[in-house]
Structures are given as C-alpha cells and as structure tokens.
Amino acid sequence: MPIDVEVCIIGAGAAGLKAAHTLLTKSDSLTQNDIIVVEAQDRVGGRLYTDRTSSKIGLHYDLGASWFHDCLSNVVFQHFYSGEGEGDKEIFDILSDGYFDDKPVKVFSSDEIAEIDMHKTNMETITNDIESFCELYFIDKLSTDEDITLKQLVELYIQKYSKILTEQEKKYAKVTMRYYELWHGVSWDRLSARYAVLDHNGRDLFNKKGYDFLINWLLQIGISRDRVLLNSPVSKIYRDASKLVGNRRHRKCAVEIRGSSELIYCDYLVVTVPQSILSLDHKVEPNYGIEWVPVLPASMQTALKNIHFGALGKVIFEFDSVWWNKNQDRFFILADENVATDGIETLTSLPKPFSFPALAINSSNIHKSDKGSLIILTQTPLTEYLESNPDQAWSYYGPMLARISSTPYSPPPAPINTITTKWTTNPYIRGSYVACYKGDDPTEIISQLSGEIDGMGLSSSTIRFAGEHTSFEGEGCVHGAWMSGMREAEWILKHSGRGEVTKKLDKWRL
Amino acid sequence: MPIDVEVCIIGAGAAGLKAAHTLLTKSDSLTQNDIIVVEAQDRVGGRLYTDRTSSKIGLHYDLGASWFHDCLSNVVFQHFYSGEGEGDKEIFDILSDGYFDDKPVKVFSSDEIAEIDMHKTNMETITNDIESFCELYFIDKLSTDEDITLKQLVELYIQKYSKILTEQEKKYAKVTMRYYELWHGVSWDRLSARYAVLDHNGRDLFNKKGYDFLINWLLQIGISRDRVLLNSPVSKIYRDASKLVGNRRHRKCAVEIRGSSELIYCDYLVVTVPQSILSLDHKVEPNYGIEWVPVLPASMQTALKNIHFGALGKVIFEFDSVWWNKNQDRFFILADENVATDGIETLTSLPKPFSFPALAINSSNIHKSDKGSLIILTQTPLTEYLESNPDQAWSYYGPMLARISSTPYSPPPAPINTITTKWTTNPYIRGSYVACYKGDDPTEIISQLSGEIDGMGLSSSTIRFAGEHTSFEGEGCVHGAWMSGMREAEWILKHSGRGEVTKKLDKWRL
C-alpha cells in the first residue's frame, strides 16, 4: 500500500530529524503519523556517527562531526551551555562532556627533530600576513569571479614579499597555510583561495560524549523510530503528483523508494540528502542518483555544478601507551615543499610520508586517558586512498608521527589498532561536506536551496531542502544542518497553517 | 601686503606637504608661487617628529608616528618596497631602514615573577574569542548605535562564559584586551567596544631611520621651504571671499593668520589641521580655535562632536646597559584588575604602577644596539599626566619594567635619561589621532571631510580637508594622511583644469 503523509523527510541525519522534531513540537495538530522519514542507509545519524565498537582500548570515536564549531554562535552549543532545558545536563554537560582542545598547536616537520619554535620562526605572524594578503587580493576582485588555488596564493605572496622574508620565513610560509586542508578536507592545490580562509565565531568544543547523543535525543523527543524507514534510498521525486494514479488524497508530490513499487505521497517534502547526492546525474549513476520529475531548474543544476564536496576523513591509531606529549591537544606535522602529489587528482599508490600535512588530535589528552589514541584528519585525495586502503595508513603516517615522539630518536611503536572512516566509499555520502575548489561559488547553492531568497530555487514549491549545504550560518557544520531542519519545519508550519510560529527564527533558539 | 595664491594649504604635516607635492608634480602649469603652506608651529612635520637631539646614547626617536602600519596596503611602504622610484633606496631602504618588530610579544604581570606562559594560560585563544564575541555582539546591533566600553564588553564576555572559563583564563581575560589601549591611545574604560578591535592589512614595520625622512623628501621634491610659512596659526577662514575688500583677483576664499592684519586670498584651500583643532570652539578657545565665516554646516559640527582625539604618548627611558632580554621585540605588562583609576577622567596625581598596562618597545633590539633604550607607549589619561609631569614617569613605570628584567629579583637601574612626548600639552596638536570613545562614530567625520561622498561636508566648495582623520583607508596613520593630501590635490587639479589626472586614484600609487 502506498504511504500517504503530510510531510515526508528524506534523510535521518541532524537536519532531517531536527525538521521532524520541530514539526512535532511546534505544531498543535501534527502527529507522528503525519510524518515519515526515509533513510538510504541501515542506520540513522547520517554524517553523525559514533563508533563505539572498533576501539581496542575502550574509547569511542566520532567518525563524522566531532566538534561544536563556532561556539559563540552555535545554537546547539548555546542550548546546552545555557542549561535552561529540563534534564539538558544529563543529555550533554558542556563541562564534562566537552573539551576545548585549542591549546596552541605544536608544529613539526620532516627536517627537524624537535618541535618548531613558533617564536623564532615567526610562523604565526607570517601566516596571519598571508591571510590578510588573501583578503586584500580578493577585495580587488570582488566584482569578478577570478580565483586561484590556495597554493597559488601562497606562491604569489612569497614572490611579492620575497625581499623582506627571511629564508626561514619563506620556507615555512610555503607550507603552513596547508593547515586549511584539514578544515576543508581538500588539498591546497585544488582548494579555492577565495574561500579557504575562515572567519570563526568563537572556539571549537570537542564532543567527548559522542555525537550520537544528539541523534538519540532527537529520536527521544521527536519522531519515533518506527516512523523512520531505514534502507530506503530515494530513486525518484515527482515534483507534481497531481496526475499520478494512486494519489487518492491529491497530495502535492511523491517519492519513489528504490526497489519499491509503491510511492510515498506527501504535501511537503524536505530533502536533506547530502549535496554530493543532489549533484549526481541519475543517468550516470542510475543506482544512486535521484531522478527529478520534472528536472530541477537549470539555475539549481548550475549551482550544484559550481561546488564540490570535500573529503575530510579520519585515521585513528591506538597504541599500548602514550609515547607523545600527554598534555598537548594537537600536533601539526608540516608537509615537505614541492611534493610529487601536487596537482594529482587521484592517488593510485601510497604517497611518500610528508606529501600531505597531518593534523593529529591527542585523543588521550581529551579523555585524560593513559591509553594511547591519536585521531588524524585526512584530506582529499589522500582520504580516498586511505579509506580504500586502510592497511597502508601506518606506512604513511608512521614516519610523520615519529616526529611528535617524546623520544624523537627511537621510532614509535606500531599501533595495536587502526580505524579509518569510510565516507568516500559510502555511496550514500561520498565525502564529508561542502567545499570550494578553485572557481567554485559557495553562496549560489545556498541561495538556491535555503528557500530564503525569493524567486530562487524551487521558490514557492512545497519541496524544501535542508542540510549543512543549505545554511548560510554554520555551513558544513552540525549546527548549520540543525538550523536548516528547523527553518524548513517552521516554513511548513507557517505555510500549512498547522502551527503558530510566532517567534522569529533566532540563532540562539533550539 | 596680502598674499594671493591659487592654493593655500593649512598645515605642513604629511597631508599638507603631500598635497603640495602632488599639485606641483601632477600639474602642467602650477608653480611654487601658486601655492602657500601655512603652519602654526615653528617646525614642519606635524605629528611626524624625529627627535635627534635628546638621546644621551646616540639614538634618535620618532615622538610621533613610528611605524608603517598595514604594510600590505600601505602606499608609502609599497612605494619604497617596490624600489621602482629613482634613488628611493637612498631615501628609505626597507631592509636596512625598517624592522618588523612583530616577534610574539612577551607578557608580564604584577603578580608573577617570570614571563607569563601563553601556552598554559591559553591567553591568545581567549583574546581571540573575546574579539569574536565583540564582533557578534555588534552584528546584532548593526541597525542601532548602541555602544559600550571595551571594559564593559570584556565584563559581559566573562559573565556570559563564566562556566567554561578556568579561573586563570578569567583572570587574564580581564586584562589582556587592554592591549588595544596602546593602539588607540585611550584607556579601556572610555574606549568604544564597537570600534576598538582592529582588522589589520598586514604587518607593521618600525621606521628605524626616523620619519623626518619623509618630510625632508617631500620638501626636496615638492614645495620649497620658503613657501612654507612657519609660526602662522590660522585664526579665521572666510568661506566666501567675494565681498572682502582687498580681494583684488576675486579669489574664492580667504585665511586669516593670527596676529596678522593681512589675509591670504586663494581659490582653493586645503585644511589639514588635526581633528582636535577643527573641533575647537573658537569662542571657548579664542587663541587656538578657528573661526569659520560663515560657520560650518550643522552636520559637520555634529560629526566633529561625535568623535574624540586619542592621546597615544611615549615615554622613552635610556640606560647604561640592556638589562632585559636583548632579542625581544616588545614586552606587554598587564595592568592589575580593578584599579582605582578606572572611570577617572583626569589624573590629578601619579597613579599606582600597574594601573594602566604598558607596552614597551625594545629599541635596543630594533637598532641592534648595546645601548639600553625602551620606548613605552602611553594612553589617555596617563599620557596627559606624564607629559605634564615627565619627572614622575620612572616612578610609574620602574616597578612595572622590573618584571621584564633578566634578573627579576634585583631592581632595574634607574634610567640615565627620560624623554617624553608633549603632544597633549602642545596647543596645536592636543593628542595623537582620531579615536572612538563609547558612542562615537568614526565614519561620520570622514564622510563629512573626505569630500568623497556627494552632498556631505562642504560639498562642491573649493575648501577641502585632508589629514589622517579624513581618510577611510589608513585612518590615524601616516599613509592615510598621505593619501588624503594626494586625494585633495587631485580633486583641485581636476576641478581647476590645471592638470590632467587620468589615472584613477589607486592605493598602490604615490
């Protein structure tokens, strides 16, 4: 029998589940039966995924999002920080469940045994200068869409200011800006310089508890589990269901689940699939792409073409003991200059160590544990290679991590366990979050999908979009996804007259 | 006999002399005799003043501007950096005549013997967080003119995030933001939080050579010294000279020099007096205020009331030897919390040491000299007090500077020489440069005076304004004054048809 509901939500991640929760709690009349959530995977959570089984030393790891970013303006953080909600402290206690892992990062490189002296190398000053240079470079080009890669920008800076930079400053200037690779999940030789440098709204809180708390909480206070259909990837969306046979209640649109002969009819549809899935051409990827009937407007298709999907991955090494500085938060290990991987789109063999910089999070310090655990962030194209060849991860990172050893002359012990993410090999995810390659435009896609700009996207359609890629605030972040789900639920309540949304959507509000 | 010229320029500082230089070099027909510069003081240079006589250890000091700020967008820096001008290297060689004194600052306080460990205290992270908090605080108030002091903002931050800040973080958060006092020359209990946090365009280069080089160079390539009338303060400006007897050539306006019976008639007038002088009511200050006939428009008067003049001063101590870390660029000595001076407008006695923070520039390191010299920056209201009571400077700073001693347990030797600036006691200057107290508006005055916004200020009048307080770019800086002088000269050339200014005024151009 076909499913017939008021609202269908595609995707059971933070955006989709928050949309469902908002619909249920802000409406006077909507009930569980009026809403259905369809999820392609065999689990809820999307890119929130806490691995509680792989560790051999009793820890757990968020393989997806791990931080509350931009805490000063992060609605989720602010909710739990304010402590006003009933029982919030049991759900997430900022003090005991979070940790600001932002003590100054320690920097290492292939050609120095000890930590690099930030004072002597003036590394921070030069990095700030390159960031200002970047800003000024593009201020002059505001009316154009000219772009260069982050790598090219750094080269320009060094070339222009060669006369006043010391040899040491030049040496480090050449590689320190690659730090941004680990924000975007993209190697600097393809990253857009125009959009690489980020402006933060406050500190980043590491989520020690595991982000599954948020998904579990949403399922507890929002949509019930039996209204979430797992293993239900969408193959087709009918934007206009008026002529479909079987649409007995004259619902506005319909959704086809892959392999199912029955449609889901609904009046409102919230599409929270990742941007990587939205961008798929269903003719090229018939098993994973979504067919739109009729096709999406050309302007939306163009916007989807002018953006990329990053591939921030993680490699987690577990050891018998902590052989690095116990009290340090993060280690940044610089790449060498002029590595052979620059410009290579796909790695066909393991690159030499120090080809890509590594950011290692000291999980042992975060958990104040004697058990050795380092979480390494990875960037495209290394992520794809390591996620497909996890057994080679230590060959790449071992020699780099040797630098952070408290006894730098003896090689570090081999890990007793290696855990790698699988985001790029997961056909329903295909990476991490929205990212700008050279020439991309990050605002166009949000303008098209957020529903906040008149006349853009599907405009007055009852098909709405949510997810981290649709939010001007918190783009790429959990709280961005969260707010976008809330935004679309509130739009639906207002449009349908099913709930009074009197308060303006404000950023501190859950 | 009355003076009769095409252009009269009031003020022989960077703005006025650059205006004269531009007029002479960009025009085909203007000659020295067409221009006169009148200067209130007995010397040229204005707030550029290199003291080459007071030192007892053979150094020289810029008592006014000392740095090329924002080097990435500083036209003066860029000119000498590019090295394209003939003989520029003799005039100012960036490498040997400049020094980037921006190695990480060392921080000290009254209650710790040794330098404060930036790593352990997390001071930088918290300072950055307060800056972001400040930005967000005012983003919410963009459409209002609500303001608080920098001190109040810091208190708000600490109050709001009290739960997650460690005691140590709170302690330092309470005082580190006072660093901005030494940018603006104003104590944090009056400084506008809205405008206190600065966005820099690159590094700051200390001018080792002395900024008199720039004034000398302008006099060499521009207006000749006999066309600069020293000791000639202006008492009255006639905006319309058409009815004045003696205006034989029907010049558009006229200027009265204090004590002189003859007027200076001119078609174009460039007023570069400091904002502090423009703001004076000539009825209240008959000996120093300028009377406008007719009075300035109410909008200009309001704008002048909604801005303050900072009082960044300097106290320079010379010693027989260097008893601090030779290789350090700058020392920042924190004020104590809750000092009695907060909220006090005028100091009537020397405050206790550690009432105001101190930034000490290690002049010995800048000049790579074994002779001991520290340049301390001072802020209002301390500047006024010390400039009036220079003999008390060591009583205030001695105990604070003891902290930076390489042997912190033995008191430092007394200075063999103390030099203090006299900007606040100089009736033609009265401080340092434009500054925002709580509630001030920095853009209004520039909009009124820059001549760049249609219908504002004197609009199409041939009376123009230049100086650091009239420039959207480089406000408060030498290059801002410089560009404003160039801007007005180019306007005059275009308006008078006396010179073809074909190239758009661009920021890299001299």
pLDDT digits (tens, 9 = 90+) for B104-122: 899 999 988 889 988 788 8
Task: Name every chain A residue with its beta carbon within 8 A of the beta carbon of B81.
Answer: 163-164
Q: Inspect the interface and report whether the beta carbons of B72 and A133 lie closer than 8 Å.
A: yes
Cα four-point dihedral sign B234, B239, B245, B246: positive
Residue of chain A whose alpha carbon sits nearest to that of B201: A132
> Do A314 and A397 have their domain in common?
yes
Measure the CA angle with vertex B300, ends B295 and B305; round to 5°.
105
Contacts of B157 (CB under 8 A, 6+ apart): B129, B130, B133, B134, B173
> Do B316 and B411 have their domain in common?
yes
What letter would DSSP give residue B392? Answer: G
> Do A232 and A187 have their domain in common?
no
Q: Inspect the interface and report whether the beta carbons of B133 and A94 lie closer than 8 Å.
A: no
**Does residue A182 belong to any structural domain of this protein?**
yes
> Do B303 and B313 have their domain in common?
no
CATH of the domain at A460: 3.50.50.60
**Predicted local distance difference test score (pLDDT) of residue A407:** 84
CA distance B146 to A365: 43
B394-397 long-range Cβ contacts below 8 angstroms, 24+ apart: B394/B317, B394/B418, B395/B350, B395/B353, B396/B350, B396/B351, B396/B353, B397/B315, B397/B317, B397/B353, B397/B358
Residue of chain B whose alpha carbon sits nearest to that of A97: B164
- Record the tokens describing residue B112, joined without a space: 């710790």
Residue of chain B whose alpha carbon sits nearest to that of A160: B82
Q: How near does any CA of chain A get to the CA of B76, in Å?
A: 15
Q: How much is the CA Rg of chain B, to the nearest whole Å?
A: 23
Interface check for A503 against chain B (CB to CB < 8 A): the answer is no
Task: Name every chain A residue with its beta carbon within 8 A of the beta carbon of B103.
Answer: 119, 122, 125
**Does residue B276 belong to any structural domain of this protein?**
yes
Whether B228 and B10 have beta carbons less than 8 Å apart is answered as no
> Do A313 and A297 have their domain in common?
no
CA distance A280 to A283: 9
- Record the tokens describing residue B373, joined without a space: 């010299």
Q: Inspect the interface and report whether the beta carbons of A164 and B94 lie closer than 8 Å.
A: yes
Q: Please give the average per-residue pLDDT across A433-444, as a whole number.
A: 95
Whether A148 and A138 have beta carbons less than 8 Å apart is answered as no
> Do B347 and B386 have their domain in common?
yes
Whether B287 and B277 have beta carbons less than 8 Å apart is answered as no
Backbone angles phi, psi at B110, to 5 degrees: -70, -25
Among A196, A223, A247, which residue terminates a domain? A196
| Burial group, residue A348, by CB count within 10 angstroms (0-12, 13-18, 19+) | exposed
Among A385, A420, A455, which residue terminates a domain? A420
Mutate which: A68, A71, A84, A100, vs B, most B CBs within 10 A: A100
- Record the tokens describing residue B367, joined without a space: 């000049």
**Does residue B433 belong to any structural domain of this protein?**
no
Q: What is the DSSP string of B445-456?
A: HHHHHSS-STTS
> Do B181 and B32 have their domain in common?
no
Backbone angles phi, psi at A434, to 5 degrees: -55, 140
pLDDT bin (cut points 50, 70, 90) of residue A327 is: very high
| Burial group, residue B363, by CB count within 10 angstroms (0-12, 13-18, 19+) | buried
Q: Inspect the interface and report whether the beta carbons of B103 and A95 lie closer than 8 Å.
A: no
For A103, the closest of B100, B119, B163 (CB atoms) is B119
Q: Inspect the interface and report whether the beta carbons of A104 and B118 lie closer than 8 Å.
A: yes
A230-239, A244-253, B112-121, B474-483: segment of lowest average pLDDT: B112-121
- Give the C-alpha distances (Å, rounded to integers) separating A292 from A3, A271, A474, A485, B105: 19, 12, 28, 21, 59
Whether B372 and B361 have beta carbons less than 8 Å apart is answered as no
Q: Inspect the interface and report whether the beta carbons of B203 and A129 lie closer than 8 Å.
A: yes
Which residues lie across from A99 on neighbouring strands?
Answer: A206
> Do A163 and A250 have their domain in common?
no
> Do B392 and B465 have their domain in common?
no
pLDDT bin (cut points 50, 70, 90) of residue A508 is: very low
Percent of chain A with pLDDT over 70: 98
Q: What is the DSSP string of A338-391?
A: S-TTTT-SS-SSPPPTTSS-EEEEEHHHHTT-SSEEEEEEE-BTHHHHHHH-GG
**Does residue B88 belong to any structural domain of this protein?**
no
Contacts of A143 (CB under 8 A, 6+ apart): none
Q: How near does any CA of chain A get to the CA of B273, in Å?
A: 31
Q: How many domains does chain A have?
A: 3
If you search the block for the tokens 């931080």, which residue do you land on?
Answer: A67
Whether residue A85 is predicted with pLDDT greater than 80 in this model: the reply is no
What residue type is assigned to position B355 of the chain?
S
**Predicted local distance difference test score (pLDDT) of residue A501:** 57
> Do B128 and B217 have their domain in common?
no
Angle between helices A478-496 and A14-26 (to 10 degrees): 40
Backbone angles phi, psi at A314, to 5 degrees: -135, 140
Interface check for B133 against chain A (CB to CB < 8 A): the answer is yes
Interface check for A327 against chain B (CB to CB < 8 A): the answer is no
Backbone angles phi, psi at B185, to 5 degrees: 75, 25
Weakly modelled stretches of chain B, pLDDT under 50: 502-510
**Does residue A256 belong to any structural domain of this protein?**
yes
Mutate which: B97, B99, B129, vs A, most A CBs within 10 A: B129
> Do A274 and A292 have their domain in common?
yes
For B95, the closest of A118, A135, A164 (CB atoms) is A164
Backbone angles phi, psi at A372, to 5 degrees: -80, 125
Residue of chain B whose alpha carbon sits nearest to that of A137: B72
For B201, the closest of A72, A124, A132 (CB atoms) is A132
Q: What is the DSSP string of A403-442?
A: GGBSSTTSPPPPPSEEEE--TTT-TTT-SSSEE-BTT--H
Whether residue A473 is predicted with pLDDT greater than 70 in this model: the reply is yes
**Does residue A86 belong to any structural domain of this protein?**
no
- Give the C-alpha distances (Å, rounded to integers) separating A456 from A98, A297, A445, A460: 39, 10, 10, 9
CA distance B434 to B278: 12
**Does residue A112 belong to any structural domain of this protein?**
no
Interface check for B125 against chain A (CB to CB < 8 A): the answer is yes
Q: Inspect the interface and report whether the beta carbons of A132 and B72 lie closer than 8 Å.
A: yes
**Predicted local distance difference test score (pLDDT) of residue B505:** 43
Q: Inspect the interface and report whether the beta carbons of A164 and B100 lie closer than 8 Å.
A: yes
CA distance A407 to A402: 9
CA distance A175 to A333: 10
> Do B300 and B447 have their domain in common?
yes
CA distance A62 to A271: 24
**Predicted local distance difference test score (pLDDT) of residue A509:** 43
**Predicted local distance difference test score (pLDDT) of residue B501:** 57
CATH of the domain at A390: 3.90.660
Whether residue A503 is predicted with pLDDT greater than 70 in this model: the reply is no
**Predicted local distance difference test score (pLDDT) of residue A411:** 85
Q: Please give the average per-residue pLDDT across A35-51, as a whole number.
A: 98
Range of the domain at A348: 53-71+94-104+202-208+309-420
Q: How near does any CA of chain B get to the CA of A256, in Å?
A: 43
pLDDT digits (tens, 9 = 90+) for A115-166: 998 878 889 999 999 999 999 999 989 889 899 999 999 999 999 999 999 9
CA distance B441 to B305: 9
Among A168, A196, A224, which residue terminates a domain? A196
**Does residue A82 belong to any structural domain of this protein?**
no
pLDDT bin (cut points 50, 70, 90) of residue A500 is: low
Distance of CA A129 to the CA centre of its chain: 28
Interface check for B118 against chain A (CB to CB < 8 A): the answer is yes
Q: What is the DSSP string of B126-182?
A: HHHHHHHHHHHHHHTTTTS----BHHHHHHHHHHHTTTTS-HHHHHHHHHHGGGGHH
Predicted complex ipTM: 0.92
3-state secondary structure of A94: helix
